[in-house]
Amino acid sequence: MKTLRQTRDALLQQEDINFLLTNRVPRIALTRFMGWFSKIRNPLVRDLSIGVWRLFTELDLGEAKKTRFDSMHDCFTRELKEGARVVDARDDVLASPCDAIVGACGPVNGIEVFQAKGFPYSMADLFGDAQSAETFRDGSFVTLRLTSSMYHRFHAPHDCTVERVNYMSGDTWNVNPIALKRVERLFCRNVRAALHVRLHAGGHRIALVPVAAILVASLRLHCLDALLNLGWRGPARMDCDAPYRKGQEMGWFEHGSTIIVFAPPGFALAEGIESGSRIRMGEALMRLPRAAQAPVSRASRPTASPASGA
């Protein structure tokens, strides 16, 4: 039998190999290539690509709205069947914007948070704006990691309005747990967009920060007539006035990645939200401050919502 030390050494070796294969490569060139390759509309290429994808992930297409896809990209960005997700309609609940595995989460220490144990980063660096970070000083945050096989669309966590989007170009590091334990300030290095959102309940401001990763670093937002990717040369700051209903689709990733949710003081993590837990779009992520809660008559009525949010 293997000793505990041998098992630990084997796991560390696997981590090293994973890190080398996913990060010690020409990431941006590979990402550009994958963005082109994934959109090839050829049945043979599509079937072979999705078949290889299935070998390495737990890809479940049983909830997909379509049964046939035009390309691998079409499969990545798939919509779900009507009613595949239930959005928690309670007024005191900030719902998860996406399907995810919860990463680092909890209270914000000043304007500093953690991507992994011993690896802090500043919200000012993440937002590219120290003033925006002050809104969430000593607040709460949750890191939501989407794996490549997950549903890639994300939705409004509450009735809200997107008021501003700040796009920041950067690298395309893998955002898996191995990389997060080895690359300092990883989220602050990668391509990302900060969505500054005002909740209709209480007027609270929150932020959703989708962070792109290796392979297809592209982000489509319904509130902007633009595809944010490595080729984006437009303005870094885009003001908006885009209202959303809770559960309505806001956009999608074109590959698995991460969304970090920030809330100001007074918000608290919902029960069961801890590192390593799984969550689905629409499930309770945070609790709003009591002052922001609407009448109790609506609080106990979760409602089914179409996955597309249409």
Q: CB of 208 within 8 A of CB of 197?
A: yes
Mark whether 99 is an active-site residue: yes
Catalytic residue among 88, 91, 92, 99: 99
Positions of E strands within 133-248: 140-145, 153-155, 160-168, 192-199, 205-211, 219-221, 227-228, 237-244
Q: Is 39 helix (H, G, I), strand (E, B) or coil?
A: coil
Residue 286: C-alpha distances to residues 104, 157, 185, 238 (Å)? 14, 10, 25, 27
Mark whether 70 is an active-site residue: no
Structure token pair of residue 57: 């992930």
C-alpha 177 chain-centroid distance: 14
Mark whether 257 is an active-site residue: yes
Spatial separation of the C-alpha atoms in residues 309 and 80, rounded to whole Å = 10
Nearest to 147 by CA among 213, 209, 95: 213
Q: Give the CB-side neighbour count of residue 306, counting CA atoms within 13 A.
A: 9
Catalytic residue among 155, 158, 196, 255: 155
State the catalytic residues: 99, 155, 257
